[in-house]
Amino acid sequence: MNKFFSKGLFRYKRRESHTVKIGNSAIGGKNPIRIQSMTTADTMDTKSTVDQTIRMINSGCEFVRITAPNIGAAKNLSNIKSELLKKGYNVPLIADIHFTPKAAEISAEIVEKVRINPGNYSDTKKFKVIDYDDKTYNEEIERIYDRVSPLIKICKKNGTAMRIGTNHGSLSDRILSRFGDTPKGMVESALEYLRICEDHNFYNIVLSMKASNPLVMVHAYRLLVENLDNSKLKNYPIHLGVTEAGEGEDGRIKSAIGIGSLLDDGIGDTVRVSLTEEPEFESPVASIMTDRYINRPNHDIIQSPKVFNFSPSRYDKRESEEIVNIGGDYFPVVISDLSFLNKIDDKHLRMLGINFDLDTGFLNTEDTSPDYIYVGDNEIDIKNFKYNTIVNYDKWLKNKVVDKSFPLIDILKLKSIKKVSKKLNFISLKTNDVDLLNQSDLPLNSVLIIDSDNDHFMPDMRAFFLSMSIKNPVIIKSNYNLNYSDKLIVHSSTDLGGLFIQGMGDGIFLRSSQEPEKYFKKINSLSFKILQAARVRVTATDFISCPSCGRTLFDLQKTTAMIRERTDHLKGLKIGIMGCIVNGPGEMADADYGYVGSGKDKITLYRGQEVVKRAIKYEDGVDELIELIKDDGNWVEPK
């Protein structure tokens, strides 16, 4: 483990980086974490792009990125910038470049920053495995040097910043052939360009490692920081983002797990949240993420493990015992809180997808029905109803029916109790009780429910897991004093999801003390969505949709909604919905099916990374996608 992580795993300290100037602003150094977003209007439509940019600025966007896919679009950036200045907006503009070096060179003389993707700026991606020996590999590096050097010289002359933005889905065939589809390959793709920049004494650079999978994204960024720390390269500022995050709650959850986990590590100097929504909705979500860290250095001291084994850039599932259906190889369980209700009846249970026929006693549940219900000191007022229920210890002692009722025992009271469940006991404790835990004799079949009062929640929990000397299953609990909102979604996804992508946790117990009777159904759903976004429990279709931009060839939001409406019941399938070929087969690298814009009113369908049908009329696209799924035997009729 490198020096940055060895010091920062349990104490918040923002990573030190050198300052990069971007017009009249700057990233890195002592600057605050900056918020940026990207327009979706056609770059050649100056008025629409300017109007959209102004809306984005008014919503909190500090840098505006605009696609420049060709020379014409690159030249029109001058008109866009001029119109913004006339209206009193001097926001730094960033040109987003794919495939066309000349467009980048033109843009670099107009805007304050240029973003290039090493995977497609001077390389190709034809999904071919080529066996490069050292000689041919180095020849390719020399070719890249010649291709990118003109841009570097223009940026250096004009004071233009550059983002070297690696994307997991668009790694070149050359990188894939040597490093595979891995975080290591993503990092090396950027470092190749970075070394060329430094050879030209050009350092006005920002780096990014984006992926649609938060786990891959987090590992790539951590590995990048480790490589920079262990080299003679400068500590460049880091741009954070989860690409193709999607829309609504799903997009916010996936973004928060990836971006929030890294912000907790102290990594990140600028943030872009990518949502399949209007771009002015992205910056407020990003601000919710970054605002948490303004006073984060003042968090309570975390008790660090004396000895621990942890790899920041590798997934290691914590080994735990199997107790009933918790721990071991079981998927993480979900506990839903109904303890705030004075009377729990079938109406509340139906809201959680738990349907009990009073006449026949038949019980039917849905994929997102909770595995356990916490009732506290209450009871479920239904005759002959038996469901996995967690009850406060004193109430449990008085219960006559104990078949599926299990006690919740405070660890501080363990020594004073005599009777426990022979089947399953839940032990409640805080993270600072870890020493007491390691010294206690737990009842047989005990599952831990841990909570933290530390503002630095995820690293505090991480310290707890790494300090444990026992293998009992652990359910992660967190209570928020928030209404159901973007803030609750972002905070809980960061705190809890960030642990699951590190292999920590056998269950989730999410609560809100604000109007719980109004939001308990949504919070139960949120728990399952966090587990799905962390890739540890799949209960729904996974949609990988890009946020749209000036290259998009159809109404992405409308199309995503149509595809979701028709396929949302296909549990476990991953469907990529991409606006253009730039965001095509690569950026939906792990999708089962892809729907990609390929021309005006035309789409192409993919099975994995294989083209199945080309030049399909847009109005027939969704039906054709469903036919493809049916042909593969992956379709089930909705209930």
Q: Could you tell me the two tokens for 633?
A: 């035997």
Of the candidates 161, 219, 168, 225, the residue with the CA atom closest to the CA atom of residue 191: 225
- Confidence band (pLDDT; 50, 70, 90) for 546? low
Three-state SS string over 446-497 comes to EEEEEECCCCCHHHHHHHHHHHCCCCCCEEEEEEECCCCCHHHHHHHHHHHH
Q: Residue ranges of the domains in the chain? A: 3-298, 333-533, 542-631
CA distances 383 to 204, 386, 594, 637, Å, are: 70, 9, 49, 34
| Residue 76, phi then psi, degrees to nearest 5 | -70, -15
pLDDT recorded at residue 176: 85
Mean pLDDT over residues 24-46, rounded? 96
The count of other CB atoms within 10 Å of the CB of residue 376 is 15
How many helices and strands, by DSSP H and E, does the chain display?
Answer: 21, 25
> Where would I find the beta strands (DSSP E) of 131-177?
161-167
> What one-character DSSP code corresponds to residue 257?
I
Q: Is the pLDDT of residue 37 over 70?
A: yes
Burial 98-134 (b: 16+ CB within 10 A, else e): bebeebbbbbbebbbbbbbbbbbbbbebeeeeeeeee
Contact 538, 532 (CB under 8 A): yes
pLDDT recorded at residue 560: 81
CATH topology of domain 333-533: TIM Barrel (3.20.20)
Q: Is the pLDDT of residue 584 over 60?
A: no
Instruction: Name the more confident of 278 and 551.
Output: 278
- Backbone Cα Rg of the chain: 26
pLDDT digits (tens, 9 = 90+) for 222-241: 999 999 999 999 999 999 99
Mean pLDDT over residues 543-565, rounded? 71
Q: Is the pLDDT of residue 164 over 90?
A: yes
Interatomic CA distance for residues 451 and 505, integer angstroms = 12
Q: Is the pLDDT of residue 582 over 80?
A: no
pLDDT recorded at residue 263: 97
Q: Is the pLDDT of residue 285 over 80?
A: yes
pLDDT digits (tens, 9 = 90+) for 297-344: 999 999 888 888 888 888 999 999 999 999 999 999 999 999 999 888
Residue written as token pair 């960030």: 498
pLDDT recorded at residue 126: 54
- Confidence band (pLDDT; 50, 70, 90) for 570? confident
Contact 171, 158 (CB under 8 A): no
Mean pLDDT of the chain: 90
Helix ranges, 346-474 (H): 346-351, 393-398, 434-439, 457-467
Interatomic CA distance for residues 473 and 476, integer angstroms = 10
Percent of the chain residues topping a pLDDT of 90: 64
Q: Is the pLDDT of residue 7 over 90?
A: no
Strands 333-337 and 542-545: unpaired
Interatomic CA distance for residues 105 and 152, integer angstroms = 9
Interatomic CA distance for residues 456 and 117, integer angstroms = 34
Mean pLDDT over residues 433-450, rounded? 90
Mean pLDDT over residues 45-66, rounded? 97
- Helix, strand, coil % in the chain, rounded to nearest 5: 40, 20, 40
Whole-model pTM: value is 0.91
- Confidence band (pLDDT; 50, 70, 90) for 134? confident
The count of other CB atoms within 10 Å of the CB of residue 564 is 18
Q: Is the pLDDT of residue 124 over 70?
A: no
Contact 450, 305 (CB under 8 A): no
- Judged by average pLDDT, the poorest of 95-99, 125-129, 163-167, 459-463 is 125-129
Interatomic CA distance for residues 49 and 508, integer angstroms = 43
Of the candidates 572, 545, 574, 573, the residue with the CA atom closest to the CA atom of residue 561: 545
Q: Could you tell me the two tokens for 621?
A: 């696209």
| Residue 257, phi then psi, degrees to nearest 5 | -60, -45
pLDDT digits (tens, 9 = 90+) for 263-281: 999 999 999 999 888 999 9
pLDDT digits (tens, 9 = 90+) for 505-521: 999 999 999 988 899 99
Q: Could you tell me the two tokens for 49?
A: 């792009």
Helix axes 621-631, 556-567, angle to 10 degrees: 30
Contact 369, 546 (CB under 8 A): no
Of the candidates 282, 328, 335, 244, the residue with the CA atom closest to the CA atom of residue 595: 244
pLDDT digits (tens, 9 = 90+) for 73-99: 999 999 999 999 999 999 999 999 987
Q: Is the pLDDT of residue 162 over 90?
A: yes
List the strands of the sheet with 161-167, edge to edge: 205-210, 161-167, 113-116, 93-96, 63-67, 34-38, 270-271, 239-240
Q: Could you tell me the two tokens for 638?
A: 């909705």
pLDDT recorded at residue 618: 83
Strands 363-365 and 354-356: antiparallel
CA 61 to chain centre: 20
Q: Do domains 3-298 and 333-533 have the same CATH topology?
A: yes
Contact 420, 409 (CB under 8 A): yes
- Judged by average pLDDT, the poorest of 312-316, 537-541, 569-573 is 569-573
pLDDT recorded at residue 210: 92
Q: Could you tell me the two tokens for 622?
A: 């969704």
Contact 184, 227 (CB under 8 A): no
pLDDT recorded at residue 557: 73
Of the candidates 367, 334, 366, 372, the residue with the CA atom closest to the CA atom of residue 350: 366
Q: Which CATH architecture has domain 3-298?
A: Alpha-Beta Barrel (3.20)
| Domain 542-631 top-level CATH class | alpha beta
N-term to C-term CA, the chain: 50
pLDDT recorded at residue 621: 86
Interatomic CA distance for residues 584 and 98, integer angstroms = 13
Amino acid code (one letter) for 246: G
